[in-house]
Each structure stands twice: as C-alpha cells, then as structure tokens.
A and B are shown apart, each in its own frame.
Chain A
C-alpha cells in the first residue's frame, strides 16, 4: 500500500517568506507527527496530532511555526517569516494509533536563502 507522502520534496525560499509543507499519512492512521532533521543530526520532534487536534506541540521552536490537520488526515506545517536557521529536512510520520510504530515519509528538504 501507499506510504506516507510529503510535498514538495524540495523547497527553496528566501529569508522572510512564508512556506507550507504538506503531509499525506497512510490511510486510516489516526496519529501524525512532524519532526525536523538538521544536517548531521537525528530527527527532532515538533508536533503530534491525534485525529484533528494537536495533542503535543511542545517541540515547535517558536510562534513562527504552526501546523494543522483539519480533517484528521492531511496535515500542513506552516512556517512564517522564514529564517536561514529553518533550513532542514522536515519529516512527517504516521501511526495507526498513539502507541503504534511510526512510519516516516521521505521528507521535505527546505532551504532558506
């Protein structure tokens, strides 16, 4: 079956611009996670959705970052006023339930110039 998909695969933007990153989870998965992976580092947690609601947003670095999942399926990570330090690979994962294995998408590579 289809895995987690993320679009775009690559995004280049200028400092100060707004970007949206999309995640399509595996069909039927109720839990969705966003992580950020900087060069040479392991992924770092950003936010977790159970259904439509954000159950844990403790990893969002500041109020420029926001994520939504309005219908409990597709999720969008939104970054306002991008900074060069936001450059990273943004990973999305989904799982059938809150205690199940997380399956990762290929990631969106964001470069802020």
Chain B
C-alpha cells in the first residue's frame, strides 16, 4: 500500500518569487511519481511524472521535481512563479507493479500575489 503526504495545504507567494511544494510518500514497493495541477474550474491535468531514468523531471511551463529515493520525496519547484500558476497541486504515486490506481496527497493550494 502507498500513502502520500503534502506538508502544506496552502502556499502563498509573490509573483516572480521561487516556490517549493513538498511531497513525501510511503510505499513498500517501487513507485512511479506524478504531479497533477487543477486550475480554477478545470479538471486535473498531468504536470510532470517520474517513471525511471534521470531523477530530475521538468514540465513545459518551468516546473521541475526531483525524485529522492532515500528521503522518499518528490518536491515540486519553480524558480519564478506567475499569476497564471495559481492552482491546486496534487502529488500522486502508483506502484510499478500490482495495483494501477493513483494514490493522491491532499493537495496544496498555490496562491500568487502580485
């Protein structure tokens, strides 16, 4: 079984400031890791994922996340945020073998202030 903890329910930052959204997971098996984003009044969209290979993965809009196996973390970072990044961000894991379901954290609401 897996579980995901997102340590911050809300993160307010100023525009153009850096941000880190924290995600830790627990699993007895190897996992794939995902970040999904939910913009206001929209559905969940995949932001980035780690399946294998390089532990640093990037999205097309400037976010990156690093898989740290020893710390069981997959924190999401962006060096400079924009108003348009205002959304709820969900970290999720899925076992490499076995169950195909995604296990989500409770979400982090990122609010960008001008």
Binding site for B on A (CB under 8 A): 4, 31, 33, 35, 40-45, 48, 55-56, 58-59, 91, 93, 98-99, 101-107
Contacts and interface: CB of A to CB of B under 8 A. Distances in A.
8 A-B pairs with least C-beta separation: A42-B104, A45-B101, A104-B44, A106-B43, A104-B43, A42-B106, A43-B104, A42-B107
Interface in B30-48: 36, 42-46
A43 B43 contact: no
Contact of A48 (B4, B44, B100, B106): B100
Contact of B42 (A33, A55, A106): A106
A107 B43 contact: yes
B49 interface: yes
Nearest to A105: B43
Interface string B84-96: 0000001010000
Interface residues on B, range: 20 to 34
Contact of A56 (B6, B9, B44, B101): B101
A31 B100 contact: yes
B103 A45 contact: yes
Given A31-B100, A33-B101, A59-B101, A41 B106 contact: yes
A101 B43 CA distance: 15
A56 B100 contact: yes
A44 B36 CA distance: 14
B60 interface: no
Contacts of B44: 43, 91, 93, 104
Contacts of B6: 42
